[in-house]
Amino acid sequence: MKTVIVFDHPYTLSAGFNQPHHRSYGAAITQECLQVLQQRNEEVDVIDLHADHFNPVMSATELTNWRTKQIVDPVAEDYYQRLAQADQIIFIFPIWWEVMPTMTKGFLDKVLSKSHYQSSRPHILPKKSRVVTFTVSGTPTFLYKLVFGNPVSKALKRGTFNKLGLFNYHWNNFNPENRSETQRQADLKKVSKYLI
C-alpha cells in the first residue's frame, strides 16, 4: 500500500509542531497522517510544494507542451510519476477565500496533463487511486457547504477526479480557529479513520 501526500502551506511541513508564529494545522494533519501510516508500516511519500519551491504558474511554453501532449516541466513530471504509483493520494491545504491555494491549483494544472491521457479509465493515472482531501478553514464546515456550496469539493470531486475516472473521493474539513488546544488535539486523532 502506497500513499502520496500533497501538502500545501507556505510554512512547509516543519510547521506541524505548534510553534508560535510558525504553525499550521494542515501541517499537523500531515504529521498525523505520516505517523498513522508509518505505524501501519505503509509506504508514504510526501510532496511538500512550498519546500520544493514548486512554481504553480503555467508559462506559455508549458501550456504549449500541455496542449501538444509533451512533458510540461521536469518537476511536474516527477510529481506525476510519484502519483502514478499511489494507491491513495491525500491533498492537505488551507481554504483561502473559499477555494484552494495557488500551489494546489497549479499542481493539478501541471501534473494532470494531456501527455499522460489515455482513453481507458482512469484516464491519466494508471491506478484507480483513492483520493482524500483534508482542508482547514475559518468558516465552519456546515456554513461552507450551505452558504458557499462547497466549491473545493465541487472542483476536486466533480471537476477533476471524477472526470479522470477516480470516483473514490473523500473530503474532510477542520475548523481549528475557535477550538481549544485539547479539542484540536482530539480532532487530529480523528484523521486515522479517514485513511485506508
**Of all residues in the chain, what percent carry a pLDDT higher than 90?**
86
Print the domain residue range for 185.
2-194
C-alpha angle 25-102-123 in degrees, rounded to nearest 5: 100
Q: Provide the domain count of the chain.
A: 1
pLDDT digits (tens, 9 = 90+) for 51-84: 999 999 999 999 999 999 999 999 999 999 999 9
Strand pairing report for 130-136 and 88-94 = parallel
Express each pLDDT in 36-45 by its tens digit.
Answer: 999 999 999 9
* pTM of the entire predicted model: 0.95
Residues of the chain with pLDDT under 50: none
Whole-number pLDDT of residue 119: 85
Which residues have CB under 8 Å from 146's CB, separation 6+? none
Q: How far is CA 30 from CA 47, 67, 140, 166, in A?
A: 11, 33, 21, 22
Query: Residue 118: what pLDDT?
Result: 87
Q: What is the CATH number of the domain that holds 35?
A: 3.40.50.360
pLDDT at res. 12: 92
Q: Which pLDDT score is estimated for 23?
A: 82
Candidates 17, 102, 12; CA nearest to 48 is 12
At 108 the three-state DSSP class reads: helix
